[in-house]
RNA sequence: GGGCGCAUAGCUCAGCUGGGAGAGCGUCCGCUUCACGCGCGGAAGGUCACAGGUUCGAGCCCUGUUGCGCCCACCA
């Protein structure tokens, strides 16, 4: 190391993330790159980034996700894989509409005044101006995404892939147009899928309403929470086995207010023990009723329009908002003495996940995708273990939904998105094509009009793992990087996204899109509530990076990631920041104090050397195994314990006497080991804490590539010595106790068994008396002048000995416990017996 | 209504297939020790939610109870 570098190290007594992170990231990008080498023949490791919304800002979920993925990418890169982390953003129809339409409102206009083309132009302008800020924010975290191939679900090639997918599924009959009941969000002015409906608690009332039986003076009483839909009733249903009503089945009921005559039908769906046991059927405004209606061939009437108001079919109620119409209908029923009951009723009502509006089930002509066959294939893949959820129990969410899958409404009445590639001629024929057709495929008419709707955003997301690689073109990247290895995501989009990717990957590529699906924790606010901007409970990860550094933030997030719901704990981030600083300073010590000509090498000259090499081997083995097994919290914890406790607290301290000593050979040897352990530790810690480790790496002796692309060390298990690890723990306790006694003003006396570790540290304790005893089974410590404590120790040793002896006398234990456990207990009894007699001897002697 | 998960030190959490309760922060005591005061050394602090059960032995396994979080869900 030259003097300038030396001075720099001397000067920088603290690790300052803000001063190094941007510079290091820039070097990684420029000197190494993250784009993969499709032409190489190395084994691949691929992760598709869940594309964040273009409108998005990095939040805690992204940060956790990004950290986990980047940790895996770095690990595999160092292990020699050709790595690719697919990068890009999602066009997010509804979210973008929200942003732009808000701007338009502020300007006193709206999208309809602006017109479709101008609106879309405006979205693109906005997109070009703001860019995908979130992608830049991933860089702050240190994420080694393939930025050079950033994709957008609305870019040209991607659009082609989406249309291709639509056309092929249509060709197989899996996509069709139909009049069905859909979830209509009046706020968005569009349909939404079942998965975008959030069920919220609502306090409504359950009304009991009398329907006259035609030709009689009798009534049939039904229960309903939506009296305004009475206007669209087309039947009344009872259970076929319900004795109270069987005689009425086949007769006709008269719908109140409108006076329509409707059949009384029998259907298994009706519950006999709910309400009155009689159910009014409104196929036009209730999904269940819709199904019943289709089973019985009932008429489908609509009285609520797309604007959330009563339509013309509602007669005198036309034009009223639904809530108001409900009250007016109730008043009418009351006046006509048909309302015979009203009680408070609490239930769950569907609301739009995006806008929060109450979902209005409506019948509408929409595009649907048939899911059952696709789901069956995907299910088989997961059941066979070719795609596995981690943790495994998360697959329940998936199976529950997949096993009950229903057709997916994919058309949205929005403008921003992939416009449905279907053209209609005046005769109503459909021409489906990826390119604008010249004429109707059926009648040849040239008067074609394209379907105005766009596709559900999740439709295009389902192609992410292969459309980003060039599909449907047979590109090299597609051939080499599909399928990917791991998907890292949160469980709230298992069905929205993961399941659909599995289905589409199998359908179009014939192979699952990823083998591992790692479902991350969800980080809640510190008070246990959901983290959200609107609640004000969000924590900005960029803030954390500013205050603790990216390494600290990454460490903290990984440490928090152990259970499925975890409260945000800033202390863990702080811990990570401190660990980075500790590592920096320990490295300064090693680099500044090591002999100038020493180079990294595992010299096992002393028992301490053998011990730290054993711990290094054990930790390397453990950390790699944990990372590969997705146990990030445990991995990071093992790193902390090794760096802070084993290396800094004990080994570095124990190395000082040799390092500062007169023996040149000793100085050299311990320098080599220190450098060796440091070098290995930096590599091991790099995936979790890339910046500080890379920074230190640059100061290590010798010409070397950046740590980012350096090989990950193998655990050198030849160095591993568990007995020594065990002894070190015991000896550390002896040193601690001696320190305690010295602190109390007494003179600690240590009986040192052969091979005692940390002798240097012991010798530094003021007043300590060390008695070497080659016969001692284990080292021990007492205060020489403190007879009372010696007696206490004796009593403790006797108690321990007796406890172990009693356990051995317990027949249940000796007969049932595993042999090595019994053996351990026997050793314990002997050890304490020896210690007791030893202490007795010394008590009597003194 | 169904599913997943959580209750362990003041706080946030570890605790592997059952075999003498741990970490970080906080608190208290002592340190201008030549890598680090974002530090060093030491200490105090726990009926492992509650009640049963299995076992020689339970924080861990089983049953139930209570409190909490999240996901899914077409009983009007």
The distance (Å) linking the CA of A730 with the C1' of B41 is 18
pLDDT for position A7: 94
> A562, A540, A728, A739: which is closest to A646 by C-alpha?
A728
- Report how far apart, in Å, the C-alpha atoms of A184 and of each of A304, A308, A357, A414, A744 are: 11, 9, 10, 13, 76
Half-sphere exposure of A349 (CA within 13 A, CB side): 17
Residue A843 binned pLDDT confidence (cut-offs 50, 70, 90): confident
Residue A535, pLDDT > 80, answer: no
Mean pLDDT of A299-327: 93
- Report how far apart, in Å, the C-alpha atoms of A795 and of each of A423, A725, A746, A788, A791 are: 93, 28, 20, 11, 6
Return the closest nucleotide (C1') to the Cα of A568: B12
pLDDT for position A537: 80
Q: What is the pLDDT of residues A428-451, one digit of tens each?
A: 999 999 999 999 999 999 999 999
Helix axes A570-593, A541-560, angle to 10 degrees: 90
Q: What is the pLDDT of residues A488-505, one digit of tens each?
A: 999 889 999 999 999 999
How many secondary structure helices (H) and strands (E) does chain A include?
28, 28
pLDDT for position A806: 84
pLDDT for position A785: 64
Q: What is the pLDDT of residues A106-121, one digit of tens each?
A: 999 999 999 999 999 9
Q: What is the ipTM of this complex?
A: 0.96
Chain B bases having any atom below 7 Å from a protein CB? 2-6, 11-15, 19-20, 23-25, 30, 34-43, 55-57, 68-76
Return the closest nucleotide (C1') to the Cα of A494: B71
Residue A514, pLDDT > 90, answer: yes
SS3 per residue for A249-276: CCCEEECCCCCCEEEEEECCCCCCCCCC
∠ CA A818-A824-A828, rounded to 5°: 145
Residue A659, pLDDT > 70, answer: yes
Q: What is the pLDDT of residues A11-61, one digit of tens each?
A: 999 999 999 999 999 999 999 999 999 999 999 999 999 999 998 889 999
Residue A819 binned pLDDT confidence (cut-offs 50, 70, 90): confident
Token pair 């159910």 is at which residue?
Answer: A279
Q: What is the pLDDT of residues A748-799, one digit of tens each?
A: 889 899 999 999 999 999 889 999 988 887 888 887 766 777 787 788 888 8
The distance (Å) linking the CA of A792 with the C1' of B52 is 40
Return the closest nucleotide (C1') to the Cα of A578: B38
The distance (Å) linking the CA of A632 with the C1' of B62 is 31
Q: Using CB atoms within 10 A of its CB, is residue A536 exposed (0-12), middle (13-18) or buried (19+)?
A: exposed
The distance (Å) linking the CA of A112 with the C1' of B60 is 63
CB A202 within 8 A of CB A347: yes
Return the closest nucleotide (C1') to the Cα of A742: B42
> A128, A119, A141: which is closest to A73 by C-alpha?
A141
Is the bond leading into A391 cis (omega within 30 degrees of zero)?
yes
pLDDT for position A90: 95
Residue A245 binned pLDDT confidence (cut-offs 50, 70, 90): very high
Which CA-bearing residue is nearest the C1' of B5? Answer: A564
**A355 vs A674, which has greater pLDDT?**
A674
Residue A846, pLDDT > 70, answer: no
Residue A820 binned pLDDT confidence (cut-offs 50, 70, 90): confident
Q: What DSSP string runs through A122-134?
A: HHHHHHHHH--HH
The distance (Å) linking the CA of A766 with the C1' of B19 is 39
The distance (Å) linking the CA of A393 with the C1' of B62 is 20
pLDDT over 70 percentage in chain A: 99
Mean pLDDT of A711-729: 92
Q: What is the pLDDT of residues A563-620, one digit of tens each?
A: 888 889 999 999 999 999 999 999 999 999 999 989 999 999 999 999 999 999 999 9
> Quick one: tokens of A85?
């982390």
**A752 vs A526, which has greater pLDDT?**
A752
Q: What is the pLDDT of residues A59-70, one digit of tens each?
A: 999 999 999 999
């Amino acid at each position: 190391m030259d003097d300038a570098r030396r001075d720099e190290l001397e000067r920088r007594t603290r690790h300052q993330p803000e001063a190094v992170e941007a510079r290091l990231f820039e070097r990684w990008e420029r000197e190494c790159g993250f784009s993969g080498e499709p032409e190489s023949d190395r084994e691949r490791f691929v992760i598709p980034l869940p594309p964040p919304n273009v409108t998005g800002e990095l939040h805690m979920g992204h940060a956790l996700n990004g950290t986990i993925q980047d940790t895996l990418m770095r690990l595999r890169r160092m292990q020699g894989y050709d790595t690719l982390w697919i990068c890009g953003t999602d066009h997010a129809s509804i979210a973008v509409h929200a942003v732009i339409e808000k701007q338009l409102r502020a300007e006193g206009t709206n999208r309809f005044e602006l017109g479709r083309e101008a609106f879309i132009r405006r979205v693109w302008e906005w997109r070009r101006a703001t860019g995908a800020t979130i992608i830049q924010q991933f860089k702050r975290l240190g994420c080694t995404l393939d930025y050079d191939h950033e994709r957008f679900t609305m870019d040209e090639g991607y659009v082609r892939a989406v249309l291709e997918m639509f056309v092929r599924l249509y060709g197989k009959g899996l996509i069709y147009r139909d009049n069905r009941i859909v979830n209509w969000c009046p706020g968005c002015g569009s349909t939404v899928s079942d998965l975008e409906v959030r069920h919220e608690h609502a306090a409504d009332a359950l009304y009991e309403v009398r329907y006259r039986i035609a030709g009689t003076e009798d009534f049939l009483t039904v229960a309903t929470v939506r009296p305004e839909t009475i206007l669209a009733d087309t039947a009344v249903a009872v259970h076929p086995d319900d004795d109270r009503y069987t005689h009425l089945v086949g007769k006709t009921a008269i719908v109140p207010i409108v006076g329509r005559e409707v059949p009384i039908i029998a259907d298994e769906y009706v519950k006999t023990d709910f309400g009155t046991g009689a159910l009014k059927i409104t196929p036009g405004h209730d999904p269940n009723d819709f199904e019943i209606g289709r089973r019985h061939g009932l008429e489908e009437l609509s009285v609520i329009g797309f604007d959330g108001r009563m339509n013309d079919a509602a007669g005198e109620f036309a034009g009223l908002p639904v809530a108001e119409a409900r009250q007016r209908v109730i008043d009418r029923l009351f006046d006509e003495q048909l309302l015979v009951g009203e009680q408070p009723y609490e239930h769950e009502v569907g609301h739009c996940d995006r806008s929060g509006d109450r979902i209005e089930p409506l019948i509408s002509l929409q595009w649907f995708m048939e899911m059952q066959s696709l789901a069956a294939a995907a299910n088989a893949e997961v059941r066979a273990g070719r795609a596995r959820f981690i943790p495994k129990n998360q697959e329940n969410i998936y199976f529950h939904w997949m096993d009950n899958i229903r057709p997916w409404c994919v058309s949205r009445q929005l403008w921003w998105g992939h416009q449905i590639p279907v053209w209609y001629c005046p005769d109503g024929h459909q021409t489906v094509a990826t390119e604008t057709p010249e004429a109707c495929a059926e009648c040849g008419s040239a008067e074609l009009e394209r379907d105005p709707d766009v596709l559900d955003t999740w439709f295009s997301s389902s192609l992410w793992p292969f459309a980003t690689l060039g599909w449907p073109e047979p590109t090299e990247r597609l051939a080499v990087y599909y399928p990917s290895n791991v998907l890292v995501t949160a469980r709230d989009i298992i069905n929205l996204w993961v399941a659909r990717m599995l289905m589409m990957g199998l359908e179009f590529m014939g192979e699952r899109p990823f083998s591992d699906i790692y479902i991350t924790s969800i980080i809640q606010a510190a008070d246990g509530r959901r983290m959200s901007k609107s609640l004000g409970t969000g924590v900005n990860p960029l803030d954390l990076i500013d205050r603790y550094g990216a390494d600290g933030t990454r460490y903290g997030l990984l440490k928090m990631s152990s259970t499925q719901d975890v409260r945000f704990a800033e202390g863990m981030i702080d811990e990570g920041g401190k660990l980075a600083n500790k590592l920096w300073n320990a490295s300064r010590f090693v680099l500044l104090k090591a002999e100038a000509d020493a180079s990294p090498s595992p010299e096992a000259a002393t028992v301490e050397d053998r011990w730290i090499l054993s711990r290094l081997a054990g930790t390397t083995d453990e950390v790699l195994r944990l990372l590969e097994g997705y146990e990030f919290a445990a991995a990071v914890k093992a790193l902390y314990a090794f760096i802070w406790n084993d290396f800094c607290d004990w080994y570095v301290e124990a190395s000082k006497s040799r390092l500062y000593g007169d023996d040149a050979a000793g100085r050299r040897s311990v320098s080599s080991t220190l450098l060796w352990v440091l070098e290995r530790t930096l590599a091991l810690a790099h995936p979790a804490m890339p910046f500080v480790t890379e920074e230190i790496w640059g100061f290590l002796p010798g010409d070397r590539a950046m740590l980012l692309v350096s090989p990950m060390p193998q655990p050198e298990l030849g160095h591993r010595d568990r007995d020594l690890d065990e002894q070190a723990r015991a000896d550390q306790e002896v040193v601690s106790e001696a320190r305690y006694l010295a602190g109390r003003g007494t003179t600690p006396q240590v009986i040192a068994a052969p091979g005692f570790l940390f002798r240097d540290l012991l010798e530094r304790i003021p007043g300590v008396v060390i008695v070497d005893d080659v016969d001692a089974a284990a080292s021990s410590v007492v205060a020489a002048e403190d007879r009372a404590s010696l007696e206490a120790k004796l009593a403790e040793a006797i108690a321990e000995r007796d406890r172990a002896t009693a356990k051995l006398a317990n027949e249940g234990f000796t007969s049932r416990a595993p042999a090595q456990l019994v053996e351990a207990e026997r050793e314990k009894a002997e050890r304490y017996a020896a210690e007791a007699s030893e202490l007795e001897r010394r008590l009597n002697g003194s």
